[in-house]
Amino acid sequence: MTTIDHRLLQVRARIARACAQHGRDPAGVALLAVSKTMSPAAVREAVHAGQRAFGENYVQEGVDKIAALRALGCTGLQWHYIGALQSNKTRAVAEHFDWVHGIERLAIAQRLSAQRPPGLAPLQVCIQVNLDGGRNKAGVSAPEALALAQQLLELPRLRLRGLMCIPEPLPDFAAQCALFGQLRALLAQLQAAWPPGAAALDTLSMGMSADLEAAVASGSTLVRVGSAIFGPRA
Ligand SMILES: *Cc1c(COP(=O)(O)O)cnc(C)c1O
């Protein structure tokens, strides 16, 4: 068994254990393997171990890797853009990725919608919320998230699926849960105001290698895990 195989099993076991402890169905927690800085060969190993969804932080690296995996014969993968996004890079993301997790500006969302090729499914997006003022100050405040969500409804080629956060490292499980619980409450608020018939707001993108248990305990539906699967980044 390769290291990536083994680590993937360990991560899936962590998710399953957290689900069992908190009365959740493991089918309700998707695993996004964050492959930034990792080689196409490493991604292929994860594919061979059954992983399908991958997250990338840098546009050109991601676009190149998507092409490389296709050339290696790996098809049917789902690619999530989880990094910061400048307006001059939106076209490449709209053309190559399935999801974008860090939406924080209407202007970027408008470009993504306009540039999404007609032959592809709408781009699935999450609004990034900044609940603790940390990590490069990326993300919008809770009230801004509610307003931005309404504006995204007007964009035909985007589907808002939920909220995402990248908290500062917190000292313990209780503090992590308190922070993640705020994102869950905000999603509930948004769901209550959501028009019937609009695409389901079903995604809480929260939890990474160090805090996925607290995220699962707090209702995460998608954990973004890098180093626990691929090993430490250079
Ligand atoms: C790098 C990254 C991750 C994964 O972090 P790990 O600690 O390696 O699991 C998750 N989400 C985002 C947005 C990232 O940039």
Q: Residue of the nearest CA to atom 7 in ligand 1?
A: 209
Examine residue 139 and state whether it is found in any structural domain, yes or no: yes
> In this predicted structure, what is the pLDDT of residue 198?
86
Examine residue 44 and state whether it is found in any structural domain, yes or no: yes
Nearest to 55 by CA among 231, 222, 234: 222
Q: For the segment 185-226, what is each residue's pLDDT rounded down to a tens digit? A: 999 999 999 998 888 999 999 999 999 999 999 999 999 999
Are the C-beta atoms of residues 100 and 81 closer than 8 Å to each other? yes
Ligand 1 — pocket residues by CB below 6 A? 34, 36, 57, 82, 166, 208-210, 224-228
Going by pLDDT thresholds of 50, 70 and 90, the confidence category of residue 60 is very high
pTM: 0.97
pLDDT at 79 over 60: yes
Domain range for 146 is: 3-226
Q: For the segment 125-163, what is each residue's pLDDT rounded down to a tens digit? A: 999 999 988 666 799 999 999 999 999 999 999 999 999
CATH number at residue 103: 3.20.20.10
Residue type, 61: E
Atom nearest to 57 CA in ligand 1: 15
Q: Percentages helix, strand, coil for the chain, rounded to the nearest 5? A: 45, 15, 35
CA–CA separation, 97 vs 59, rounded Å? 10
Examine residue 199 and state whether it is found in any structural domain, yes or no: yes
pLDDT at 1 over 60: no
Q: For the segment 87-121, what is each residue's pLDDT rounded down to a tens digit? A: 999 999 999 999 999 999 999 999 999 999 999 99
Atom nearest to 82 CA in ligand 1: 13
Top mutation candidate among 57, 208, 223 for ligand 1, by most atoms within 8 Å of CB = 208
Are the C-beta atoms of residues 103 and 128 closer than 8 Å to each other? yes
Are the C-beta atoms of residues 114 and 91 closer than 8 Å to each other? no
- What total number of domains does the chain contain? 1
Examine residue 233 and state whether it is found in any structural domain, yes or no: no
Examine residue 190 and state whether it is found in any structural domain, yes or no: yes
What value does the mean pLDDT of the chain take? 96
